[in-house]
Amino acid sequence: MVLKDYLVLIPGVILAFILYSLSQGFNNIIGIELLGYSKSPISTAMIAILLGIFFGNFFKIRESFQKGLDFSRDYILKLGIICLGIQLKPFEFLEFGKIAIPLIIICIVSVLIIIKLIIKKLQIPTRMAYLISIGSTVCGTTAIMATAPVIKANKSEISYAIANITLFGILSMLLYPYFANFYFEGNSLFAGLFLGTAIHETSQVAAAGLIYEQQFNSPETLNIATVTKLIRNTFLIVMIPLFAFLYNRGQAKEKGYSILSIFPYFVLGFVGMIILRNVGDEVFSTNNNWIDLINSIKSSSKIFLTMAMAAIGLSTNLKDIRNMGYKPFIVGFTSMLTVGIVSILTIEIYVKFFI
């Protein structure tokens, strides 16, 4: 990219930062000034999402902001997730992963079976059902966009699938943190596993984890939800070839995808930040500058994630969701319920037999 390509990003990034600042300001006014808490019990991330949805749907966002908003929604989000790695230790990553992987596999298989049964009843186009399935089970819009060319989906099918995932992802993102805290009685491990497996998008999981952390003072839940979701994202490498085979079986088709192009490389950045933190702790354990740097990276991760949430809100078109039609709505709602229920049941079985 040349300099002018970067300059066009600035307005949208600044707009996302302004909404973050507004969200933080509203949070402090309501939680601290009005309610009298020393630390606001309201989530800044939730306020940013809702403000974004409000402004994005009641005011026309100029085209000059769009590239920067897209950049915030994609790259600043990933930067925020990478920075979250500074909070984790390697053994924690391995410990969470050992529990998360079987849980993720069970959720994926269950949703695929349920959706397969539903589309036969509702007679939804196969390609749209495939897109909703992979979006629900792996990583939302990213999975949809990566799978679409493999199964030759058209623009209408892609738009419907993305609107579906956006609607139910936002609902679960806003509701599940409170449900998880209630159902799992504040257990950070189980709440994090649930949020990481039951919510569609990486951004939505990050937002839900951030809401949980800010509402219930549990950074562990944010860490676990993030690790679980990043592991889940890597299943894209398996799921796209599988869907390509299922859709194209019996036909001579080019595979149309590249493993290198679909691998979520920011996962490596997240792991790299974990390693940096732990090497740094060994070398600079008593150095105040190192501690200040860690705290700065932690704070930056929350700012980046909240900016991304604001950009997502601004880019959420409620008209597209309204025009989706009821049949994809039923599939999306069933997918959300299935992955949530299976996640809870699997966690309960794990608690009963392995703890």
Please spell the DSSP secondary structure of 130-199, one letter per residue: HHHHHIIIIIHHHHHHHHTTTTT--HHHHHHHHHHHHHHHHHHHHHHHHHHHHHTTT-HHHHHHHHHHHS
Query: Residue 35 has what pLDDT?
Result: 63
Which pLDDT score is estimated for 36?
A: 62
- Least confident span in 16-25, 58-67, 252-261: 252-261
Where does the pLDDT of residue 118 fall: very low under 50, low under 70, confident under 90, or very high at 90 and above?
confident
- pLDDT of residue 12 exceeding 80: yes
DSSP at 244: H
User: Is the model's pLDDT at 153 over the cut of 60?
Assistant: yes
DSSP string covering 203-215, please? HHHHHHHHHHHHH
Report whether pLDDT(292) > 60: yes
Range 301-329 average pLDDT: 78
What is the predicted pLDDT for the residue at 286? 73
Average the pLDDT over each of 7-21, 86-100, 176-190 and give the range with the smallest value.
86-100
Q: Give pLDDT, residue 258.
A: 60
Distance CA 196, CA 222 (A): 9
- Residues with Cβ within 8 Å of 196's Cβ and at least 6 positions away in sequence, in order, are 100, 205, 209, 224, 225, 226, 227, 228, 229, 232
- Band (pLDDT 50/70/90 cuts) for residue 338 is confident
3-state DSSP assignment of residue 14: helix
How far is residue 217 CA from its own chain's centroid? 20
Query: If you average pLDDT over residues 147-156, what whole number do you get?
Result: 74
Give the pTM. 0.73
State the pLDDT at residue 264.
67
Lowest mean pLDDT among 119-128, 215-224, 251-260: 251-260
Helix (H, G, I), strand (E, B) or coil at 113: helix
Answer whether residue 259 shows pLDDT above 50.
Answer: yes
Q: Is the pLDDT of residue 254 over 60?
A: no
Mention every residue, 6+ apart, whose C-beta is less than 8 A from residue 346: 102, 103, 106, 107
pLDDT (tens digit, 9 = 90+) per residue, 26-69?
A: 888 876 777 665 666 567 777 888 888 888 888 888 888 888 99
**Per-residue model confidence (pLDDT) at position 252:** 45
Average pLDDT over residues 212-226: 88
Q: Over the chain, what is the mean pLDDT?
A: 80
Banded model confidence at residue 331, pLDDT cuts 50, 70, 90: confident
- 157 vs 290, which has greater pLDDT? 290
Asked if 59 contacts 83 with a C-beta cutoff of 8 angstroms, the reply is no
What percentage of the chain reaches a pLDDT higher than 70?
Answer: 85
* Averaged pLDDT for residues 254-281: 73
